[in-house]
Chain A
Amino acid sequence: MEWYVGMSSRFAIVGFSFFLLFLVSSFYFFLTTDREVAAIQNQEGKKLELIDDLYDLDGKKIDINTITEGKVLLNVWASWCITCLVEHPFLKEITQDKDVRLIGISYKDLPENAERYLEKNGNPYVFSISDFNGSFSLKLGVTGAPETFLIIDGEIVKHRIGEVNLEVWNEKFKDYF
């Protein structure tokens, strides 16, 4: 009698362990596969939609051709965004070492805060588009900061949501520069 009951609890343990294994492996599968919600987020392959009145941080009007012609890297940033600060040194590095035309989009940020941020941390951008209310970024399909777009002749070729570092650079953007 004792023997039987003891065995049944062992069976239960084995069964439970299998359940756990199933649980853990499906979580693992879930965490390691990339789940980019294509419809909402990634804008690759789309035409760049621009509004006519774009101004930089000093309030000067921007010539739209400077964005739509040739190879341009658009980087969405803000002074309140921590990840932007993290990727900032890398952006400086690539603009110094490679022939990259980097244009910033100052996203939902006060111009004076943005200026101060650039003064303190250095300015890798050719210029930054001031997008205080986020309307330009919305057209681009930006969901937050930081995001980076590679634009070739007015078409979004690559779109990165989140930080750009060496690894991401090599994977997404390196071939174009």
Chain B
Amino acid sequence: MIRKNRLNKIYLLGFFLIATISIVYFVLKALDKNIDLYLTPTDVIESNYEMNNQFKLGGMVKEGSVKKTDLEVEFIVTDFNEEILISYQGILPNLFKENSGVVASGSLDGNIFKAKEILAKHDENYMPVKLEEK
């Protein structure tokens, strides 16, 4: 009887070990595939445009730099230190404005950042943000 119990316990432990290891493995794999870095133009230029993976680029939209032709949009994003040209195809979000924050996700193509998605950020000290509490 005791023997059988002990055997059960070993099975159980083995099962847990396998389950835990496989969970850890899958989580790590999924993390590896889906992590995007948040970078500023300075970070990108310091690395000499050597970024092969997809990442997120954040900064301010430079004044007077937005050019639209049909669905193609080009603008410069700046962190008041360095600048990068972003090109994007599609509809811009409502909050996208010159002189306001923007986060673009995509990847580098030479010296140009090809964005797949553009998110605009609220002006952080602007009042409606305070009110946007749920």
Given a CB threshold of 8 Å, the question of whether A touches B is answered with yes
Contact A39 B130 (CB under 8 A): no
Cβ of B40: which chain A residues have Cβ within 8 Å of it? 39-40
Contact B124 A143 (CB under 8 A): yes
Please give the residue numbers on chain B whose beta carbons come within 8 Å of chain A beta carbons, in ascending order.
Answer: 5, 40, 42, 59-60, 63, 79-81, 99, 123-127, 130
* Chain A residues bordering chain B, tally (CB within 8 A): 16
Nearest-neighbor residue (CB-CB) of A147 within chain B:
B125
Cβ of B130: which chain A residues have Cβ within 8 Å of it? 82
Cβ of A145: which chain B residues have Cβ within 8 Å of it? 125
Whether A154 is near chain B, meaning CB under 8 Å from some CB there, is no
Contact A143 B125 (CB under 8 A): yes
Pick the contact of A135: B63, B80, B124 (CB < 8 A).
B63
Pick the contact of B99: A40, A80, A134, A162 (CB < 8 A).
A134
Contact A82 B127 (CB under 8 A): yes
B37 CB to closest chain A CB (Å) equals: 15
Cβ of B81: which chain A residues have Cβ within 8 Å of it? 39
Pick the contact of A39: B79, B99, B123, B125 (CB < 8 A).
B79
Closest 7 pairs between A and B when the two form their complex, measured CB to CB: A144-B125, A80-B127, A40-B79, A138-B99, A39-B81, A144-B123, A144-B124
